[in-house]
Amino acid sequence: MSNFYQKLCDAIGAASVREQEPMSAHTTFRAGGPARYFVTPEGEKELAAVLAACREAEKAYYILGNGSNLLVSDAGYPGVMILLGSQFTEVVRPESEPGVYELGAGVLLSRAAREAQKDGMTGFEFAAGIPGTVGGAAVMNAGAYGGEMKDILTAVTVLDQEGNEKILSAEELELGYRTSCILKKGYIVTGAKIKLKHGEETAIRARMEELKKQRVEKQPLEYPSAGSTFKRPEGYFAGKLIMDAGLRGYLVGEAQVSEKHCGFVINRGNATAADVRTLMQNVADIVEEKFGVRLEPEVKMIGEF
């Protein structure tokens, strides 16, 4: 047993600390090696204790949401993978603020959308099919079908790298296309506040069903993937560039450019992280050679490739 492992156990309890946890079980790509340490702090106090232990031991850490935008190396992650626990999955409706929801960073976007729909609140329908958490969505200003987090966020609660809590207003977040100041400054989201408008519950449900139908028709939901694999280049669509480059169905090992939607890279069964990484690199190279446009990954890659 390592000294650092014992410090993590002392900080948050042995039941919340694991070693060599397979990340294929925690990412939507269903690929990748183990995390050296995998911890689940239940609340902000425990999270701050884990961060303090990491700082003291000079250990790298990564905050894990739903693993929907993440590719972990086959060699694994040598640091501390932090999955936010139960206190980060609460949904609160302040009585004094109609239409406002206080969401823990670990709340699934699909759950938040369902809660809003049941309450007859509109504005969050776009996020119902995004397979991520509120924390990750705030960091990356997640969006789909014409909606973005910046449209509804009013404030985000974060911890800085020293474990100090800060509340950032919407204006301070510097939200842009798949970016924010949270990302730039290395903050950790613990919660977010959104504001929605009153709508008709039946109309909201119908819109969510319409978007679900579009996703089922157009996206390869039957395979593990990380959703849109590349960022949208200015003035272009990544999927169309990939299709026009003749790469529909392109394979590396068991990683494949989806035949259903070329913007998705899928795991056909037993793809390794190296398969996915190589395919992404090859696709970006071929598209750049053919069209002079460099595709940038939307997927975060960690560990050694």
304 is catalytic: no
Catalytic site residue from 16, 68, 180, 228? 228
Work out the burial of residue 222: count CB atoms within 10 Å of its CB; fewer than 13 is exposed, 13-18 middle, 19 or more buried: exposed
For residue 63, what are the β-bridge partners? 82
**Interatomic CA distance for residues 25 and 161, integer angstroms:** 27
Contacts of 255 (CB under 8 A, 6+ apart): 265, 266, 267, 268, 271, 272, 275, 276, 278, 279
Name the catalytic one among 178, 180, 225, 258.
178
- Look up residue 205 and give its two tokens: 């449900």
Q: Is 178 an active-site residue?
A: yes
Contacts of 220 (CB under 8 A, 6+ apart): 258, 259, 260, 261, 264, 266
Q: Which of 42, 254, 288, 298 is catalytic?
A: 298
User: Tokens 């069964």 correspond to what residue?
Assistant: 269
The values of phi and psi at residue 13, to 5°, are 95, 140
d(CA 116, CA 204): 9
Could you tell me which of 73, 74, 102, 71 has the C-alpha nearest to residue 89?
A: 102
Catalytic residue numbers, as ranges: 178, 228, 298
